[in-house]
Structure 1
Amino acid sequence: MLDVHLRLFCERLKRVVAGEEGTLMLPDSTNLAPLFQNLFTETEIITTLLGNYEGDMTRRVIRRIIREQLNGAEMAWLCLQLLDLEDTEEDVKRRDILEILDDINHFVHESDEAIDTFFINIMEQQNSENESESSTNMALLFGLHSKIMDIRDRMQQLPPGDNGFDITEQSNKIIRLLSKGQHWLDVSEFERGREELFDLLIEGPSGLSVIAILDSNGFDKTVFAADIYNNNHVKFYFDCLAWVRVSIGYYFGKILDDIINSLMPPSRARVIIGEDYHLKKSILRDYLTNKKYFIVRDDVFNDSDIWDDLEEVLPDKQNGSRVLILVTDPILLTFFELEHGGIIPLYSVPVGGPLIRLKHEAWQFFILHYGSAPLVNYMDEKVVLTLLSRICSVLELPFHLKVCCLYLCVFRPGIEMSTRQLCQLWIAEGFVPYNGEETAEHYLKELIHRGFIQVSKRRAGGTIKACYVPSFVYTSLGLMADKTKFLWMPDREAEPFANVKRYIILEHLTEGDHLAVIDCENFCKKFKHLRVLNFGSAVLDQFPPGLENLFLLKYLKLNIPSLKRLPSLLCTLLNLETLEMPSSYIDQSPEDIWMMQKLMHLNFGSITLPAPPKNYSSSLKNLIFISALNPSSCTPDILDRLPSVRTLRISGDLSYYQSGVSKSLCELHKLECLKLVNESKPSWMVLSEYQFPPSLIQLSLSIVRK
């Protein structure tokens, strides 16, 4: 796993040699094609040599995590001994492998930058129609070959590696240690707690009741709470319900938006989300004043602010409202006393359960706890062993699944992700061979099956629409990403701007936050080698100046509600595969958009495509997803240039364009999913006139009344 950068670099060189990297084949006059082929060959040789030391590298990663996380505790010694990870004489002999790995990572870093600079210069010359190649820094590229040869020679002088370390065997040892000597919940105990909780929810006191649910062996608090939450009697009893994930990165602004979106009608929620933070809290409290509500807050860690935040937004009108808090860290409860006096017994077993009453000035407060172990056990030995078990599960994955899994650290734990967006990001990063969307979807399902990703939403047909990463999974992935230096952690070390490959805005932004034009311009000057740029929900007032110079960009997401005309400068981004602008309604697009041969996904509020230039015969052959295409663009000439489209959303005045749209759709021979949204008034559609392609398997119809 420590060779992750080398293996990704090898995949990149394979694309360069095949002419898939950049927007053009290597110029013959550069004589660089043989150089890249030799680099690729040598990189493959070193990757094979490193495979002989996979066991050594895995041992070192796990050993380092155990020592740092357990910090010299007796448990660290026990884990090292159990997993056969103690230092040996052979480890001392092979310490040179770590030094070589550092040199390999430095070489990959330097090589990536040199190749990026080369392709950027080539594309700048192409745009300026300047045939001179004096600006290309080819000397850097020619210097790479001698460096990789030196690394190969040093690798061949190392003593034989030890690949006898079986990660699956070690993972099974950890699982056995987790279950050893533990009291597991029996069915009768589970049912008794469930009945007590159900009685409290429906027939309990009229005042607001808050119940904190804790984990224990053989008991999954999330599954338990979901069973209650989805009960038909519960749904009928309460006026409104919400399930909100909190997770490690506690930020109440985001949680507040999630509660509003869950409880309020969509039309009202969309208006409120853009309001001031304090005003939103006041609006939510007023909305809940006369309602009997049931709110579940999942995956809550140790953040004492949660109690004050709850009091500010949740009114108690003595109408039987309830809140469930699914506690991941029981230390959160040490702020309270038991009803009979005394603090929560973290170092002993709580008695009087499973439902135990606590003291609280404002609420009826309870904790639900099963098991015979002290609460603190769930936040030291058990947690570390669980993290180690999850880390071993990562190490067992095939390489492409490993990097897709580690990439999940880019997102906050618990944040809901679009599965379509996640697959597009994996492709843009080069983690999915041959840019295959079906392969990316297969990876997603495999990671869900293995428990690294949880499904949060499904479409009507049962396909997965949205997902999230649980906190414990995120923590273990974060440790792995840090130890392997897979991701740059901005709070731990500095990184030169020129080397950053992705920039995703996720932290502490709510809908309506604006980015200044000058900030965008400076940003584009600093981050020259970006592959992924995602401004999230941050609002831009115009198309960012300087963006057209990010030639290597593959994934771009912008939020520009005021934009009506797509600038022609955007079409210089010839490497772009995904363009996400869901808040933009484009009336006019430049003809040069037909030059963007690598486009795979177009996602707009609405986009009007221009008629292809008469002297231009190529098509957008890689485009497979369009949303939402204006019906005025559904002409035979345009749709014939979109031969690979599988998913299409058409939105606009379908009544006016009925004749053209109905007869042109048959041009899309690979179309599988089609959604027609009619925004005309009066609204009418004659479906019998539509000529759908035989490949179509899903059709959705919608009417928007304005």
Structure 2
Amino acid sequence: MKVLRLNEKLGLMFVSIRVRKNVEEKLEFVDSLQRNFVSFEKDYIEKKVYSYTALYDHLLGMMQVYENEELHDLVNRIRLKPFVTSIKCIDEIICTCEKLCNIIYGSNVEGEEVVVGFDEEVVTLLDQLTSSSIKSLQVISIAGMAGLGKTTLATKLYNHPLVEYFFDIRAWTCVSQVYQVKDLLLNIFSSFIHELTDEIYEMSDTQLGEKLYRLLKDRKYLVVLDDIWDSKAWNDLKMYFPDDKTGSRVLFTSRDIDIGSHVEAARPTHVLRFRNEVESWDLFRRKIFRTGICPFSLEALGRVIARKCEGLPLAIVIMSGLLKNNMSNEWWRQIAEQAKLFMVSNPSQYMDSLALSYNDLPPHLKPCFLFFGSFPEDYEVSVRKLIYLWIAQGFIHQSGSKILEYVAMDFLMALINRGLLMTSKTKADGRIKACRIHDLLRDFCLRKSLEENFSLLSYKYPLVSVAASSLYCVVTRDSGNIRVKRNKTSVDTPPRLTHSGLCYPYELSDIIKEGRPIHYESYKTVRVLDMENVPMSVFRSDVVHLSELRYLAIQAFNGSPPASISNLVNLQTLIILSKRNIVLPKTIWNMVSLRHLCIRSGENHIEEPKLVQVGDNDGSPNLLPNLQTLSQVSPQSCQDMSSRAPNLRKLGFCGSLISRLGDLEFPNVSSLQNLQKLKLLNTVPYPEATRSCNPVLFPENLRKLTLSNTGMDWEEMWTFSLLPNLEILKLKFHACTGELWETGDAEFPQLKVLKMHYLDIKYWVSSRDNFPRLQRLVVHRCSKLDSIPLDVGRILTLEVIVVRGCSTSAHNSAIEIQKEQENEGNSFLKVHAKPELEIQKE
């Protein structure tokens, strides 16, 4: 039987009900619909048709896996409630379907961007990209105004299976109006080289270009230059793209329709059109409803709103963000009456339409949204950093028992759900890692900020060398062991980042770099000093006079702060990058406002306080009651963390973590009941396989554990299965040693993500029962691993398997797992595999 998607099936059924005139026929149809709906939902979940007998058993299993009472109630509601034939009951079925999908998938749905109305363009461009008749290097361009879907179309082409098969190398970089050649080259490299080395970061523009030329030589490649504004960027880069008559292509996206003639493209520019009314409606309903079906009671209003978007996808996305969380007729009618969306090429003519979305924001979200005008175009903003900055600026306030960081995350998700922000990177567990704002919306932020006298930070690129940094510890192999050491590059190298990095305030970069004194009166109200991309020799002691600082990020050859750091009584976030191990003065324990203490490298020490004050009836405060993040610190500095920082949520130990008897050893953190993430990086290798510690040393709520260089015997891994809430386990850099990992009867009941990096494992014996809720498996650079256990592919919840840089047999086993699942009708599981030989060629 041919398997159709849920929205296709329901779409056909809802169309057919309209043409039925007989009441009895309608009643029979609706009754059939409510009886079969769950079958369609199951089909949507696993793209697989089941018999009704198997369906009931599977639904019970799904409810047990997700343990969601609302899911249970909704399923029974669909199965058991006798529906009557009416538009209202059909709408109820549609809305119930939406709720069911949202419960099951939550925010972890992986799906490509909706592409509507580009079918002909896709066929044409695919032919041009993969044509075997033209061997010479071809430049192909896609142009149109902002918001028409240029990047969306380019992404669809870039990820198309035919393109993946046709080209040996694919690379993507975003250009924008302001760019640096080095950043463009680094982004191209990062597209097909999984981990860039320090050597690459230290190269000059010319050296990088020459290396790129050699790597592309005699290879069939596709490079996408997204959002190119003029021909200058192409002129800066084209010398590094060889034309060896292999059928290579360069694809541009641009707002400039004449870009093709500027870069001497062999073919006319593909100018994107606005969507027609049918396409606009199709995109509109697919952006709002997971099933792609709009309730009958809202359809007429929805069509009016979609028509007023004048065929611009960006406008449709914004409107969908306004509507998707409010299904009342009154709200949709209000939007339909007020929306004056006439999107044309002049930005001043669509500001009013964007203002509609902005004006609908609650007051607490408006400054968070406008804040995105602080960053350059197309800049990917780290979610962690964004939240720290929002809090520093005073945009986030306490909400009930929620901590500020969780409130800020809710704000971010609200902006994303309204279509005002875009997710650009996700973490291993599917959570958002970085986000960005569309150029049109960024322009709106700048205009609205001027109108409302809203002060932006205006992040800019610092005027410093763009060489690479070695501030991070370098991990090397020595006689089979992992050693952590310092890289001894020059002082004037900024941090190791794909982008050269930004700084704020911009004018301070020269003052700090040159060692000139800071005029405090000019910056006495500054809350943010972000200089982690401006290298200096020592931690500038004069910054402690900026008494209003909430956020301070410093990069220094010697990053040890002075004792006077405690003068910054309002400081919430302190980030230090240093080439040397740093010593934090005992006065750090007096900084009661501190929330995040992030040290980016090395084995660092915190001096003992003179007195440990523990909260009691006399009202004495804890030393650091608000501290949530503490990273890269020596375990010897943290012997009594439960009394010094009782509310820690993220903790990273770096130092000697193995006892003389070969046991994993670190300070007891079991009393840190809020601790969710723990990193253990051992720096002193032990000559034999080590043993685990007693699980009671870990807090009960721990959900993420990372082990590095601990050299643990695989037989000891069962102890971590006793952590009841562990969701993410990362085994990196000689974390475990030995050829065989046999999971036996151990069960990791809550584990969702398992990552294995740079391990010497050869055989892995495991079953689906060991990881009943696993969603993502990542195996990277485990070159001796023979295969991925076949039974792992049968885990009901598994979504992704990534195998990179492993043996050919491990690569083939991952492909075999995917084939087996596809043969069983499960196309839900995605496998991304690249063998070691292909990685070595990169």
User: Structure 1 length normalisation: TM-score?
Assistant: 0.61
Is residue 422 from structure 1 mapped to residue 386 from structure 2 by the alignment? yes
How much does 1:236 deviate?
Answer: 4.4
How much does 1:544 deviate?
Answer: 1.6
Q: In the alignment, which residue of structure 1 is the partner of 2:656? A: 653
Query: Structure 1 residues 281, 188: CA separation in 2 closer, same or farther (over 3 Å shift)?
Result: closer
How much does 1:454 deviate?
Answer: 1.5
Say if 1:630 and 1:651, in contact at 8 Å, map to a contact too.
Answer: yes
Q: Give the Cα separation in 2 of the matches to 1:306 and 1:665.
A: 52
Q: Give the Cα separation in 2 of the matches to 1:698 and 1:265.
A: 23
How much does 1:200 deviate?
Answer: 2.6
Say if 2:625 and 2:647, in contact at 8 Å, map to a contact too.
Answer: yes
Q: Secondary structure at the match of 1:627?
A: strand
| Runs of at least 5 residues in structure 1 that lack an aligned partner in the other structure | 1-185, 337-358, 489-501
Query: Structure 1 residues 366, 582: CA separation in 2 closer, same or farther (over 3 Å shift)?
Result: farther
Q: Give the Cα separation in 1 of the matches to 2:179 and 2:195.
A: 25
How much does 1:394 deviate?
Answer: 1.6
Q: Give the Cα separation in 2 of the matches to 1:248 and 1:401.
A: 28
Q: Secondary structure at the match of 2:681?
A: strand
Residue identity in the other structure for 1:369 = V
What is the aligned counterpart of 1:558 among 530, 536, 554?
554
How much does 1:397 deviate?
Answer: 1.1
How much does 1:520 deviate?
Answer: 4.7
What is the aligned counterpart of 2:254 among 324, 327, 346?
327
- Deviations, residues 534-587 of structure 1 (Å, cap 9, x unaligned): 114221121124111111111011122x22533222232121100112445534
Q: Which has the higher helix share?
A: 1
Q: Give the Cα separation in 1 of the matches to 2:196 and 2:372.
A: 31
Q: Secondary structure at the match of 2:574?
A: strand
Residue identity in the other structure for 1:271 = E
Q: Give the Cα separation in 2 of the matches to 1:233 and 1:682.
A: 49
Q: Secondary structure at the match of 2:606?
A: coil
Is residue 316 from structure 1 mapped to residue 243 from structure 2 by the alignment? yes
Q: In the alignment, which residue of structure 2 is the partner of 1:49? A: none
Q: In the alignment, which residue of structure 2 is the partner of 1:698? A: 704
How much does 1:382 deviate?
Answer: 6.3
Say if 1:222 and 1:298, in contact at 8 Å, map to a contact too.
Answer: yes
Q: Secondary structure at the match of 2:153?
A: helix
Q: Give the Cα separation in 1 of the matches to 2:270 and 2:565.
A: 56
Q: Give the Cα separation in 2 of the matches to 1:454 and 1:585.
A: 37
Say if 1:603 and 1:628, in contact at 8 Å, map to a contact too.
Answer: yes
- Structure 1, 248-257 or 458-467: larger mean CA deviation: 248-257
What is the aligned counterpart of 1:474 among 435, 442, 449?
442
Q: Secondary structure at the match of 2:200?
A: helix
Q: Secondary structure at the match of 1:235?
A: helix
Superposition pairs for residues 250-329 of structure 1, below 5 Å?
Answer: 250-268=179-197, 270-301=198-229, 303-329=230-256
Q: Give the Cα separation in 1 of the matches to 2:453 and 2:258.
A: 31
Q: Secondary structure at the match of 2:641?
A: helix
Q: Give the Cα separation in 1 of the matches to 2:693 and 2:364.
A: 46
Residue identity in the other structure for 1:420 = R
Is residue 609 from structure 1 mapped to residue 575 from structure 2 by the alignment? no
Q: Give the Cα separation in 2 of the matches to 1:238 and 1:651.
A: 42
Residue identity in the other structure for 1:214 = A
Say if 2:664 and 2:690, in contact at 8 Å, map to a contact too.
Answer: no
How much does 1:446 deviate?
Answer: 1.2
Is residue 600 from structure 1 mapped to residue 570 from structure 2 by the alignment? no
How much does 1:249 deviate?
Answer: 2.9
Q: In the alignment, which residue of structure 1 is the partner of 2:531? A: 535
Q: Give the Cα separation in 2 of the matches to 1:521 and 1:217.
A: 43
Q: Give the Cα separation in 1 of the matches to 2:159 and 2:393.
A: 38
Q: Give the Cα separation in 2 of the matches to 1:653 and 1:444.
A: 38
Q: In the alignment, which residue of structure 1 is the partner of 2:373? A: 409
How much does 1:440 deviate?
Answer: 0.6
Q: How many residues are aligned here?
A: 477
Say if 2:555 and 2:578, in contact at 8 Å, map to a contact too.
Answer: yes
Query: Structure 1 residues 592, 316: CA separation in 2 closer, same or farther (over 3 Å shift)?
Result: same
How much does 1:371 deviate?
Answer: 3.2
Residue identity in the other structure for 1:294 = L
Q: Give the Cα separation in 2 of the matches to 1:285 and 1:251.
A: 18
Is residue 238 from structure 1 mapped to residue 167 from structure 2 by the alignment? yes
How much does 1:438 deviate?
Answer: 0.7
Q: Secondary structure at the match of 1:546?
A: helix
Say if 1:504 and 1:532, in contact at 8 Å, map to a contact too.
Answer: no
Residue identity in the other structure for 1:692 = F
Say if 1:251 and 1:508, in contact at 8 Å, map to a contact too.
Answer: no
Q: Give the Cα separation in 2 of the matches to 1:694 and 1:516.
A: 48
Q: Give the Cα separation in 2 of the matches to 1:286 and 1:274.
A: 18
Superposition pairs for residues 545-694 of structure 1, below 5 Å?
Answer: 545-560=541-556, 562-563=557-558, 565-583=560-578, 585-604=580-599, 605-606=601-602, 607-614=604-611, 616-617=613-614, 618-635=622-639, 637-656=640-659, 661-662=665-666, 664-682=668-686, 685-690=690-695, 691-694=697-700
Q: Secondary structure at the match of 2:529?
A: strand
How much does 1:222 deviate?
Answer: 2.0
Query: Structure 1 residues 642, 194: CA separation in 2 closer, same or farther (over 3 Å shift)?
Result: same
Query: Structure 1 residues 577, 661: CA separation in 2 closer, same or farther (over 3 Å shift)?
Result: farther
Q: In the alignment, which residue of structure 2 is the partner of 1:207? A: 136
Say if 2:538 and 2:560, in contact at 8 Å, map to a contact too.
Answer: no
| Runs of at least 5 residues in structure 2 that lack an aligned partner in the other structure | 1-113, 276-310, 313-342, 468-492, 495-508, 615-621, 710-732, 735-757, 759-842
Query: Structure 1 residues 507, 295: CA separation in 2 closer, same or farther (over 3 Å shift)?
Result: farther
Q: Following superposition, which runs of at least 4 residues in structure 1 exceed 6 angstroms of deviation?
A: 186-189
Q: Give the Cα separation in 2 of the matches to 1:579 and 1:503.
A: 20
Query: Structure 1 residues 188, 527: CA separation in 2 closer, same or farther (over 3 Å shift)?
Result: closer
User: Structure 2 length normalisation: TM-score?
Assistant: 0.52
- Deviations, residues 243-293 of structure 1 (Å, cap 9, x unaligned): 22223334434323332333435242x332233333333333333334433
Q: Give the Cα separation in 1 of the matches to 2:528 and 2:672.
A: 29
Is residue 369 from structure 1 mapped to residue 364 from structure 2 by the alignment? no
Query: Structure 1 residues 601, 190: CA separation in 2 closer, same or farther (over 3 Å shift)?
Result: same
Is residue 227 from structure 1 mapped to residue 156 from structure 2 by the alignment? yes
How much does 1:610 deviate?
Answer: 2.6
Residue identity in the other structure for 1:694 = E
Q: In the alignment, which residue of structure 2 is the partner of 1:193? A: 121
Say if 1:288 and 1:315, in contact at 8 Å, map to a contact too.
Answer: yes
How much does 1:227 deviate?
Answer: 2.0
Q: Give the Cα separation in 1 of the matches to 2:163 and 2:362.
A: 43
What is the aligned counterpart of 1:458 among 411, 421, 426?
426
Q: Give the Cα separation in 2 of the matches to 1:601 and 1:458.
A: 22
User: How big is the alpha-carbon RMSD for the aligned residues of Structure 1 and Structure 2?
Assistant: 3.3
Is residue 506 from structure 1 mapped to residue 471 from structure 2 by the alignment? no
Say if 1:654 and 1:685, in contact at 8 Å, map to a contact too.
Answer: no
Superposition pairs for residues 33-52 of structure 1, below 5 Å?
Answer: none
Query: Structure 1 residues 593, 580: CA separation in 2 closer, same or farther (over 3 Å shift)?
Result: same
Q: Secondary structure at the match of 2:353?
A: helix
Identity %: 28
Is residue 485 from structure 1 mapped to residue 489 from structure 2 by the alignment? no
Q: Give the Cα separation in 2 of the matches to 1:649 and 1:320.
A: 49
Say if 1:432 and 1:439, in contact at 8 Å, map to a contact too.
Answer: yes
What is the aligned counterpart of 1:393 among 357, 360, 368?
357
- Deviations, residues 77-119 of structure 1 (Å, cap 9, x unaligned): xxxxxxxxxxxxxxxxxxxxxxxxxxxxxxxxxxxxxxxxxxx
Q: Secondary structure at the match of 2:564?
A: helix
- Structure 1, 609-618 or 220-229: larger mean CA deviation: 609-618
Residue identity in the other structure for 1:648 = L
Say if 1:412 and 1:506, in contact at 8 Å, map to a contact too.
Answer: no
Query: Structure 1 residues 599, 476: CA separation in 2 closer, same or farther (over 3 Å shift)?
Result: same
How much does 1:429 deviate?
Answer: 0.4
Q: Give the Cα separation in 2 of the matches to 1:451 and 1:312.
A: 39
- Structure 1, 191-200 or 453-462: larger mean CA deviation: 191-200
Q: Secondary structure at the match of 2:175?
A: strand
Query: Structure 1 residues 259, 409: CA separation in 2 closer, same or farther (over 3 Å shift)?
Result: same
How much does 1:444 deviate?
Answer: 0.9
